Chains A and B, each alone.
Chain A
């Protein structure tokens, strides 16, 4: 099947392409224009912008916390009558709705960033039920007793590498994440705060040591995605110091910072650091990123309105429980991290939420490298991913931004630079922020671009000055060369694949872990496995992603 996407403005920053032209697709891949060939299907893209399918690196779309959030706040999403072809695609917050909503926005890949290995099977089953997208999950380590024991006993890099490899392999993860490394463990032993070098009770370790060991392990295994790091002290005044110190602690190793907006909070009043509020540290964070080309970040943009925060950082979630709105929250002190679910209202026009909103935009607008500055809302923590079109609109349109800023309290202008920034993002920069950047970051060379040989995951948007409308409902979306969205509606309920890293686990570590697990749970590795047999048999669920050579 040969498809010609004809006459659109083709935007692919990886090829320096931004001009009217065609994109050709054959058998699920982008191909060079075949001389003289007649397409089987032509998609009219005149007046449209053609980009690679969007790639999401950090959105909480599956797993125990997401399930708990639905039970805690059943009223958060609105459900509408089911469309033809899928009984649950309009069930607000459900897997079908997630897939359909991303696809309509032109996204074709999404990664759940927090999969605890003990609950990998449940997370992978849930991900597999998200239609239309390729999906993946990052395996979370950094609080589990087995890892901490190995580090406490000073066993060396090889043992850590083998344990990390085993966990990635058994959970079928796409990468590795650490979340306030040591924080959950410290919380269970009574701690309420943890910084990079604080001692973690009972282990004599620090976040620095745990994270450093994981950074090394990820490099040794050859995980394409750098270690995905959720730092200490999220959301607190002075959290910028935590991020900068963590970057320094990486000592030049590759590192990705999750939801950096929540750390771009400089202390506003040094005399009263915890009570004087915060001011934007966006420029400090951006400068540090520009000086460290091995580092990247995603934003965690805040949007106004009701949401629910979900995080495996139980120390931080416990600390934030009294800010819950409505006043109810869940804290699961799980087998390693567990999870905290705290409903939250980013008060429209509230001083704190307005400043948070400004800081996220500021990081993107100040960034000299959008490919290392990935657009996320840390869904649903900063707000729902459904707000991406509006955020893109604000990045591309200074006037729209000014109108919004004019409605916000003065603190936004006093404590951030947002009002003085003239920059307007181009389509190429938006493609870097949402396509080529996240694809490169995940090590997925087959997507995020429109070059020949790439996967035919493509979004075609009507070029509309109302960028919110433009990016909310694509004219066409292709997944693996099949049209799945037409005029903003899903027309083909295909299933994507779950991307999982091909990692060999060490047999000696398997035996050792089996003994450990039997002692702790009375059950072994089998009970943690994610076998193909656990999934529906109609088609393969997983697709292998190779490690770096």
Chain B
């Protein structure tokens, strides 16, 4: 097993002990990244719950753009295979959806199921203007007949209203909570007369896997803190980047068994980094190389094409440890140090 403490190569036990020492001496540790297989995410929540850490994910901002709208107005949505199979009109909102491989497939195929089967598929777009949320509001106003002034908007609104099965694709990070709220309103309005569904495109990370694990484990979404021994969800307070920048966090566990863009604070905050193939000695104070799920170890991952979880067997057998096993060993070492009993509020 490859592991480093303060840049120096070491063995597994020493690295695990160093990680446990670092985390158990912290007052406000944050667990971040969580771009990993379900078992590792699950283990991270379990350890966070035991030591009173807070948790955030690599794609937290985009995830919470969707969740903010969901908790305010709800949603009306469909998975990718249904949009491919049924939609005779697809609206791309903003720039990001145009880069999705799903759109290539939509352009190359026709609907094959349901009442629009065999029809031509219209691909429409709502370009990113100065304010995408306002553009959607305008489109919604045209669809409801409150405005008629913009011919392009009228045409798009008519195309969606007259479709048998419409779909509206967006990137939550690009659109933001207010825009998503307006978009869901548009979709709900259209369903008074026909069928239309929103489809939020993810960034390819494991946020949506983490969201499920968080919901069933804590009853809440991903950004949760356990400092008071009760899971408290707060999208602002438990934003890991904000906590690091504000100096609120005094230690971190960075979990990224899949390749993930690294936050700047990794080298400034005392951090235990559990990372896959891009591990390097100077990445953080304690670095432990773990197996990459679906390649070096087996694991359950978010499956973008199916909008669900799938198990991925390893491509080749190796001796790299799974991140969940390392976290379990860290948890055992933390318990061994009596950290839980020594917590101020325990």
Which residues does A use to contact B, with CB under 8 Å? Answer: 62, 66-67, 70-74, 77, 79-82, 87-88, 90-97, 118-119, 121-122, 125-126, 129, 145, 185, 187-190, 201-202, 318, 324, 328-335, 338, 341, 520-523, 526-531, 533-534, 536
Min distance, Cβ A2 to any Cβ of chain B, angstroms: 33
Complex: chain B residue closest to A324, CB-CB: B74
Contact A523 B303 (CB under 8 A): yes
Q: How far does the alpha carbon of A129 sit from the alpha carbon of B113 in the complex, in Å?
A: 36
Contact B70 A71 (CB under 8 A): yes
Contact B229 A335 (CB under 8 A): no
Q: Is the interface on chain B under 10, 10 to 19, 20 to 34, or 35 or more residues?
A: 35 or more
Interface string of B54-81 (1 = CB under 8 A from A): 0000000000000100111111111101
Q: Which residues of B contact A189 (CB under 8 A)?
A: 114-115, 164, 195
Is B85 located at the chain interface by the 8 A CB criterion?
A: yes
Is B38 located at the chain interface by the 8 A CB criterion?
A: yes
Is B226 located at the chain interface by the 8 A CB criterion?
A: yes
Contact B86 A71 (CB under 8 A): no
Q: Which residues of B contact A338 (CB under 8 A)?
A: 78
In the complex, which of the residues B85, B195, B231, B303 contacts A190, with contact meaning CB atoms closer than 8 Å? B195
Complex: chain A residue closest to B308, CB-CB: A119
Q: How far does the alpha carbon of A67 sit from the alpha carbon of B71 in the complex, in Å?
A: 13
Complex: chain B residue closest to A76, CB-CB: B219
Residues in B4-23 with C-beta less than 8 Å from chain A? none
Min distance, Cβ B81 to any Cβ of chain A, angstroms: 5
Q: How far does the alpha carbon of A188 sit from the alpha carbon of B85 in the complex, in Å?
A: 12
* Given A328-B73, A335-B79, A527-B303, A74 and B309 contact (CB-CB distance below 8 Å): no
Assuming A122-B309, A188-B165, A527-B310, what are 15 further A-B pairs, CB within 8 angstroms? A73-B71, A88-B45, A90-B230, A91-B217, A118-B308, A145-B113, A188-B86, A201-B115, A202-B114, A324-B74, A331-B75, A335-B79, A522-B305, A529-B310, A534-B38
Q: Which residues of A contact B309 (CB under 8 A)?
A: 119, 121-122, 125
Contact A333 B197 (CB under 8 A): yes
Contact B212 A72 (CB under 8 A): no
Q: Which residues of B contact A71 (CB under 8 A)?
A: 67, 70-71, 211, 215, 221
Q: How far does the alpha carbon of A91 sit from the alpha carbon of B45 in the complex, in Å?
A: 13
Q: Which residues of B contact A333 (CB under 8 A)?
A: 76-78, 82, 195, 197
Contact A523 B306 (CB under 8 A): yes
In the complex, which of the residues A80, A118, A129 contacts B230, with contact meaning CB atoms closer than 8 Å? A80
Contact A79 B230 (CB under 8 A): yes
Looking at B46, B74, B232, the one whose CB has the most chain A CB atoms below 10 A away is B74
Min distance, Cβ A289 to any Cβ of chain B, angstroms: 35
Complex: chain B residue closest to A75, CB-CB: B71
In the complex, which of the residues B71, B164, B216, B228 contacts A126, with contact meaning CB atoms closer than 8 Å? B216
Tell me if B's interface is mostly helix, strand, loop or mixed: mixed
Min distance, Cβ A486 to any Cβ of chain B, angstroms: 22
Is B233 located at the chain interface by the 8 A CB criterion?
A: yes
Contact A87 B46 (CB under 8 A): yes
Contact A88 B70 (CB under 8 A): no
Interface string of B274-312 (1 = CB under 8 A from A): 000000000000000000000000101001011011110
Min distance, Cβ A538 to any Cβ of chain B, angstroms: 9
Contact B310 A528 (CB under 8 A): yes
Q: How far does the alpha carbon of A187 sit from the alpha carbon of B76 in the complex, in Å?
A: 13
Q: Which residues of A contact B298 (CB under 8 A)?
A: 533-534
Min distance, Cβ B297 to any Cβ of chain A, angstroms: 10
Sample (19) of A-B pairs whose CB atoms are under 8 Å apart: A67-B216, A71-B70, A71-B215, A72-B70, A82-B229, A87-B226, A95-B217, A96-B217, A119-B309, A188-B114, A189-B164, A189-B195, A201-B115, A331-B74, A332-B79, A334-B82, A523-B305, A534-B298, A536-B42
Q: How far does the alpha carbon of A264 sit from the alpha carbon of B194 in the complex, in Å?
A: 31
In the complex, which of the residues B212, B220, B303 contacts A74, with contact meaning CB atoms closer than 8 Å? B220
Residues in B103-126 with C-beta less than 8 Å from chain A? 113-115, 117
Looking at B70, B211, B232, B298, the one whose CB has the most chain A CB atoms below 10 A away is B70
Contact A82 B216 (CB under 8 A): no
Contact B219 A533 (CB under 8 A): no
Q: Which residues of A contact B76 (CB under 8 A)?
A: 330-331, 333
Q: How far does the alpha carbon of A320 sit from the alpha carbon of B233 in the complex, in Å?
A: 29
Q: Which residues of A contact B78 (CB under 8 A)?
A: 332-334, 338
Q: How far does the alpha carbon of A201 sit from the alpha carbon of B117 in the complex, in Å?
A: 12
Min distance, Cβ A174 to any Cβ of chain B, angstroms: 19
Q: How far does the alpha carbon of A529 sit from the alpha carbon of B217 in the complex, in Å?
A: 22
Q: Which residues of B contact A318 (CB under 8 A)?
A: 191
Min distance, Cβ A500 to any Cβ of chain B, angstroms: 16
Q: How far does the alpha carbon of A531 sit from the alpha carbon of B306 in the complex, in Å?
A: 17
Q: Which residues of B contact A190 (CB under 8 A)?
A: 115, 164, 194-195
Q: How far does the alpha carbon of A533 sit from the alpha carbon of B311 in the complex, in Å?
A: 8
Q: Which residues of A contact B71 (CB under 8 A)?
A: 71-74, 328
Q: Which residues of B contact A70 (CB under 8 A)?
A: 215-216, 219-221
Q: How far does the alpha carbon of A189 sit from the alpha carbon of B230 in the complex, in Å?
A: 45
In the complex, which of the residues A92, A94, A329, A335 contacts B217, with contact meaning CB atoms closer than 8 Å? A94
Q: Which residues of A contact B79 (CB under 8 A)?
A: 332, 334-335
* Given A81-B230, A318-B191, A330-B76, A536 and B39 contact (CB-CB distance below 8 Å): yes
Contact A202 B311 (CB under 8 A): no
Q: How far does the alpha carbon of A80 sit from the alpha carbon of B75 in the complex, in Å?
A: 29
Complex: chain A residue closest to B76, CB-CB: A331
In the complex, which of the residues B194, B218, B228, B305 contacts A91, with contact meaning CB atoms closer than 8 Å? B218
Is B49 located at the chain interface by the 8 A CB criterion?
A: yes
Q: How far does the alpha carbon of A534 sit from the alpha carbon of B70 in the complex, in Å?
A: 29
Is B337 located at the chain interface by the 8 A CB criterion?
A: no
In the complex, which of the residues A74, A202, A332, A527 contacts B306, with contact meaning CB atoms closer than 8 Å? A527
Complex: chain A residue closest to B194, CB-CB: A190
